[in-house]
Structure 1
Amino acid sequence: ESAAQAASAGPPRKRMPSVIVHVLVSAPADGPRALPSPGGCVAARLLPPGSKRSRPVVLDMQLAQVAALSAVRIVVPPDLRADDERDAVLARAKEALRRVSGGAGAAGAASG
Protein backbone atom coordinates (compact mmCIF):
# COMPACT_ATOMS: atom_id res chain seq x y z
CA GLU A 1 0.00 0.00 0.00
CA SER A 2 1.40 3.38 -0.97
CA ALA A 3 1.70 6.36 1.38
CA ALA A 4 -0.89 8.24 -0.73
CA GLN A 5 -3.43 5.44 -0.31
CA ALA A 6 -2.81 5.26 3.43
CA ALA A 7 -3.22 9.04 3.79
CA SER A 8 -6.43 9.12 1.73
CA ALA A 9 -7.97 6.39 3.84
CA GLY A 10 -7.88 8.66 6.88
CA PRO A 11 -7.38 7.58 10.47
CA PRO A 12 -8.48 4.08 11.40
CA ARG A 13 -12.08 3.97 12.59
CA LYS A 14 -12.69 3.04 16.19
CA ARG A 15 -14.90 0.04 16.67
CA MET A 16 -18.00 0.85 18.70
CA PRO A 17 -18.49 -1.27 21.80
CA SER A 18 -21.43 -3.64 21.69
CA VAL A 19 -24.13 -1.86 23.66
CA ILE A 20 -27.64 -3.23 23.97
CA VAL A 21 -30.51 -0.74 23.84
CA HIS A 22 -34.01 -1.68 24.96
CA VAL A 23 -36.44 -0.03 22.54
CA LEU A 24 -40.16 0.20 23.29
CA VAL A 25 -42.08 -0.31 20.04
CA SER A 26 -45.76 -0.60 19.16
CA ALA A 27 -46.52 -4.05 17.73
CA PRO A 28 -49.72 -5.88 16.76
CA ALA A 29 -51.59 -7.15 19.83
CA ASP A 30 -51.84 -10.63 18.30
CA GLY A 31 -48.07 -10.79 17.66
CA PRO A 32 -45.34 -12.33 19.83
CA ARG A 33 -44.89 -10.96 23.37
CA ALA A 34 -41.12 -10.81 22.87
CA LEU A 35 -39.12 -10.01 19.77
CA PRO A 36 -35.77 -11.60 18.80
CA SER A 37 -32.55 -10.73 20.60
CA PRO A 38 -29.70 -8.72 19.04
CA GLY A 39 -28.27 -10.36 15.97
CA GLY A 40 -31.59 -12.04 15.23
CA CYS A 41 -33.79 -10.98 12.36
CA VAL A 42 -36.78 -8.92 13.43
CA ALA A 43 -39.72 -9.98 11.31
CA ALA A 44 -42.36 -8.30 13.44
CA ARG A 45 -44.54 -5.61 11.90
CA LEU A 46 -44.30 -2.35 13.84
CA LEU A 47 -47.22 0.06 14.17
CA PRO A 48 -47.45 3.77 14.97
CA PRO A 49 -47.81 4.41 18.74
CA GLY A 50 -51.44 4.35 19.85
CA SER A 51 -52.68 2.27 16.90
CA LYS A 52 -55.81 0.27 17.54
CA ARG A 53 -55.14 -3.37 18.43
CA SER A 54 -51.48 -2.67 19.20
CA ARG A 55 -49.49 -3.10 22.38
CA PRO A 56 -46.06 -1.96 23.55
CA VAL A 57 -43.26 -4.53 23.21
CA VAL A 58 -39.63 -4.22 24.31
CA LEU A 59 -37.12 -4.91 21.52
CA ASP A 60 -33.41 -5.43 22.26
CA MET A 61 -31.12 -3.85 19.66
CA GLN A 62 -27.42 -3.19 19.36
CA LEU A 63 -26.65 0.51 19.55
CA ALA A 64 -24.91 0.29 16.18
CA GLN A 65 -28.26 -0.80 14.65
CA VAL A 66 -30.07 2.31 15.82
CA ALA A 67 -30.06 4.74 12.90
CA ALA A 68 -30.86 7.85 14.90
CA LEU A 69 -31.70 8.64 18.50
CA SER A 70 -34.13 11.41 19.35
CA ALA A 71 -33.20 14.28 21.61
CA VAL A 72 -36.49 13.69 23.46
CA ARG A 73 -35.98 12.02 26.83
CA ILE A 74 -38.60 10.47 29.09
CA VAL A 75 -38.42 8.75 32.46
CA VAL A 76 -38.52 4.98 32.09
CA PRO A 77 -38.77 2.53 34.99
CA PRO A 78 -35.87 0.07 35.26
CA ASP A 79 -38.15 -2.94 34.72
CA LEU A 80 -40.52 -3.04 31.74
CA ARG A 81 -41.65 -6.65 32.10
CA ALA A 82 -45.10 -5.71 33.45
CA ASP A 83 -47.73 -4.66 30.91
CA ASP A 84 -48.83 -1.68 33.05
CA GLU A 85 -45.25 -0.32 33.16
CA ARG A 86 -44.97 -0.55 29.35
CA ASP A 87 -48.38 1.11 28.96
CA ALA A 88 -47.29 3.98 31.24
CA VAL A 89 -44.09 4.51 29.21
CA LEU A 90 -46.09 4.42 25.98
CA ALA A 91 -48.39 7.14 27.36
CA ARG A 92 -45.34 9.27 28.28
CA ALA A 93 -43.86 8.73 24.82
CA LYS A 94 -47.12 9.76 23.13
CA GLU A 95 -47.24 12.92 25.25
CA ALA A 96 -43.60 13.74 24.43
CA LEU A 97 -44.22 13.22 20.70
CA ARG A 98 -47.33 15.39 20.86
CA ARG A 99 -45.35 18.17 22.53
CA VAL A 100 -42.39 18.12 20.13
CA SER A 101 -44.61 17.88 17.06
CA GLY A 102 -46.36 21.11 18.07
CA GLY A 103 -49.69 19.43 18.80
CA ALA A 104 -52.55 21.54 20.09
CA GLY A 105 -52.27 22.23 23.80
CA ALA A 106 -48.59 21.31 23.93
CA ALA A 107 -48.18 23.35 27.11
CA GLY A 108 -51.27 21.80 28.73
CA ALA A 109 -51.58 18.93 31.14
CA ALA A 110 -50.67 15.42 30.06
CA SER A 111 -53.54 13.31 28.83
CA GLY A 112 -53.88 9.86 30.26
Structure 2
Amino acid sequence: METISRRQLFSLTIIEQIGSTTIWALGIEAKQDAWIAILFSMLMGFILLWLYTEIHNSFPNENIAGIITSLLGKVIGFPLFLLLIIKIKNIDSNEKIKISKN
Protein backbone atom coordinates (compact mmCIF):
# COMPACT_ATOMS: atom_id res chain seq x y z
CA MET A 1 0.00 0.00 0.00
CA GLU A 2 1.32 3.41 -0.93
CA THR A 3 1.09 6.17 1.68
CA ILE A 4 1.70 9.89 1.59
CA SER A 5 4.07 11.78 3.85
CA ARG A 6 3.17 14.57 6.26
CA ARG A 7 4.61 17.11 3.84
CA GLN A 8 2.46 15.78 1.00
CA LEU A 9 -0.66 15.88 3.20
CA PHE A 10 0.18 19.44 4.24
CA SER A 11 0.71 20.50 0.62
CA LEU A 12 -2.53 18.90 -0.54
CA THR A 13 -4.48 20.60 2.24
CA ILE A 14 -2.99 24.03 1.48
CA ILE A 15 -3.60 23.66 -2.25
CA GLU A 16 -7.19 22.54 -1.65
CA GLN A 17 -7.80 25.42 0.76
CA ILE A 18 -6.47 28.04 -1.64
CA GLY A 19 -8.29 26.49 -4.60
CA SER A 20 -11.65 26.17 -2.91
CA THR A 21 -11.44 29.69 -1.50
CA THR A 22 -10.94 31.21 -4.93
CA ILE A 23 -13.42 28.95 -6.73
CA TRP A 24 -16.34 29.46 -4.36
CA ALA A 25 -15.51 33.12 -3.70
CA LEU A 26 -15.78 32.89 0.05
CA GLY A 27 -15.72 36.63 0.48
CA ILE A 28 -18.63 37.64 -1.75
CA GLU A 29 -20.99 38.21 1.18
CA ALA A 30 -18.21 39.46 3.43
CA LYS A 31 -17.38 42.32 1.00
CA GLN A 32 -14.56 44.44 2.50
CA ASP A 33 -14.03 41.86 5.25
CA ALA A 34 -13.32 39.06 2.79
CA TRP A 35 -9.77 38.74 4.07
CA ILE A 36 -11.14 37.86 7.52
CA ALA A 37 -13.31 35.11 6.03
CA ILE A 38 -10.34 33.70 4.11
CA LEU A 39 -8.09 33.90 7.18
CA PHE A 40 -10.73 32.16 9.31
CA SER A 41 -11.19 29.40 6.75
CA MET A 42 -7.42 28.87 6.58
CA LEU A 43 -7.30 28.62 10.37
CA MET A 44 -10.05 25.99 10.31
CA GLY A 45 -8.14 24.17 7.56
CA PHE A 46 -5.00 24.11 9.70
CA ILE A 47 -6.97 22.74 12.65
CA LEU A 48 -8.36 19.97 10.43
CA LEU A 49 -4.87 19.32 9.07
CA TRP A 50 -3.54 18.94 12.62
CA LEU A 51 -6.40 16.57 13.45
CA TYR A 52 -5.75 14.49 10.31
CA THR A 53 -2.03 14.20 11.05
CA GLU A 54 -2.70 13.18 14.66
CA ILE A 55 -5.09 10.46 13.49
CA HIS A 56 -2.55 9.34 10.89
CA ASN A 57 0.18 9.18 13.54
CA SER A 58 -2.06 7.14 15.83
CA PHE A 59 -2.95 4.65 13.06
CA PRO A 60 -0.03 4.77 10.60
CA ASN A 61 -0.85 1.59 8.68
CA GLU A 62 -4.65 1.88 8.59
CA ASN A 63 -7.02 3.33 6.03
CA ILE A 64 -10.18 5.25 6.99
CA ALA A 65 -12.29 2.08 7.23
CA GLY A 66 -9.73 0.45 9.51
CA ILE A 67 -9.50 3.52 11.72
CA ILE A 68 -13.27 3.79 12.15
CA THR A 69 -13.69 0.09 12.94
CA SER A 70 -10.69 0.17 15.31
CA LEU A 71 -12.17 3.06 17.25
CA LEU A 72 -15.84 2.09 17.23
CA GLY A 73 -15.86 -1.66 16.63
CA LYS A 74 -17.39 -3.53 13.71
CA VAL A 75 -21.00 -3.18 14.87
CA ILE A 76 -20.96 0.64 14.87
CA GLY A 77 -17.92 1.29 12.66
CA PHE A 78 -19.01 -0.56 9.53
CA PRO A 79 -22.44 1.12 9.21
CA LEU A 80 -20.83 4.48 9.96
CA PHE A 81 -18.28 3.85 7.23
CA LEU A 82 -21.08 3.02 4.79
CA LEU A 83 -22.82 6.28 5.71
CA LEU A 84 -19.53 8.10 5.11
CA ILE A 85 -19.26 6.59 1.63
CA ILE A 86 -22.87 7.56 0.86
CA LYS A 87 -22.21 11.12 2.07
CA ILE A 88 -19.05 11.44 -0.02
CA LYS A 89 -20.86 10.14 -3.12
CA ASN A 90 -23.71 12.58 -2.44
CA ILE A 91 -21.33 15.54 -2.18
CA ASP A 92 -19.52 14.40 -5.32
CA SER A 93 -22.71 14.13 -7.35
CA ASN A 94 -23.93 17.52 -6.11
CA GLU A 95 -20.65 19.14 -7.14
CA LYS A 96 -20.85 17.54 -10.58
CA ILE A 97 -24.39 18.88 -10.99
CA LYS A 98 -23.29 22.39 -9.94
CA ILE A 99 -20.39 22.32 -12.37
CA SER A 100 -22.51 21.03 -15.26
CA LYS A 101 -25.12 23.79 -14.73
CA ASN A 102 -22.50 26.52 -15.13
TM-score by length of 1: 0.27
Which one has a bigger Cα radius of gyration?
Answer: 1
* Higher relative contact order, chain-length normalized (CA < 8 Å, sep 6+): 1
Structure that is richer in strand per residue: 1
TM-score by length of 2: 0.29
Structure that is richer in helix per residue: 2
